[in-house]
Amino acid sequence: MYIDILTIFPEMVKLVTGWGILKRAIEGGLLHVRAINIRDFTMDRHRSTDDAPYGGGPGMVMKPEPVVKAIEYAKSEQEGKVILLTPQGERFTQAKAQALSKQMHLIMVCGRYEGIDERIRYFVDEELSIGDYVLSGGELPALVVIDAVARLIPGVLGNEASAGEESFTQDLLEYPQYTRPPVFRNLPVPEVLLSGHHEKIQQWRKGMSLQRTQKRHPALYQQYLRHHQGKEE
């Protein structure tokens, strides 16, 4: 998969993609991430990417010319889905991560300042939000999306079963996990996990996922009931 991140702070992208799973995916040739500096597409000597808003108001607005030129540059090498990271976008979910992981090329547009010129939206395919709060720019949301998507690319995690058992994949939160020692400060590992009885372990994990989801994420639990009603009878 190829991912281009359009930003005025390309160093942020390099900093995060140089570690852990993303680094291994890139080094293994499974993922190609490139930071494209929007300032490279400005026309003035100050490399300005922002200007005062028409009609007045606080802050500055991201200009359309350099952003759109950066989008066109990324698409000129390979067609791709253009995504704008914005609080006004569709809520990013595990299902959306799965859908995006099937794309060959993603182009992620990171806004800054008080906002973007509205005309930029005519050049993007969809808008995504990682939550109902405001950040300083789109770089962190873009990196969140990349991390979630990269885990779903075949071969990235090594164990293909890992992604299928994580939270939200089956409309459920993940079950509790334990490792050695069997007792830590008088807190024991549940006996069923030490039994070696795989069927009972699977039943316990499913029950704990249901219990945890119902308690901590009622809306997700109701979604699970709607999607799976009658399937396990």
Helix (H) or strand (E) holding 148, with range, is helix 139-150
198 and 132, same domain (yes or no): no
For residue 203, what pLDDT is reported?
95
97 and 206, same domain (yes or no): no
Burial of 145 (C-beta count, 10 Å sphere; 0-12/13-18/19+): buried
The answer to the question of residue 233 being in a domain is: no
81 and 132, same domain (yes or no): yes
**How far apart are alpha carbons 37 and 29 in whole angstroms?**
23
The domain of 6 spans 2-150
Helix (H) or strand (E) holding 24, with range, is helix 20-27
The answer to the question of residue 157 being in a domain is: no
The answer to the question of residue 195 being in a domain is: yes
Using the structure block, give the residue that is written with the tokens 């699970």. Answer: 224
Give pLDDT tens digits along the chain (233 positions).
999 999 999 999 999 999 999 999 999 999 999 999 999 999 898 999 999 999 988 889 999 999 999 999 999 989 999 999 999 999 999 999 999 999 999 999 999 888 899 999 999 999 999 999 989 999 999 999 999 999 999 999 976 545 655 656 678 899 999 999 999 999 999 999 999 999 999 999 999 999 999 999 999 999 899 888 766 54
For residue 230, what pLDDT is reported?
60
110 and 176, same domain (yes or no): no
CATH number of the domain encompassing residue 170: 1.10.1270.20
103 and 190, same domain (yes or no): no
Q: Which of 150, 184, 201 is the last residue of a domain?
A: 150
| CA nearest neighbour of 65 among 29, 30, 41, 100 | 41
For residue 114, what pLDDT is reported?
80
CATH number of the domain encompassing residue 16: 3.40.1280.10
Task: Say how many domains are in the chain.
Answer: 2
For residue 233, what pLDDT is reported?
46
The answer to the question of residue 156 being in a domain is: no
What does pTM read for this prediction? 0.86
For residue 30, what pLDDT is reported?
97
143 and 76, same domain (yes or no): yes
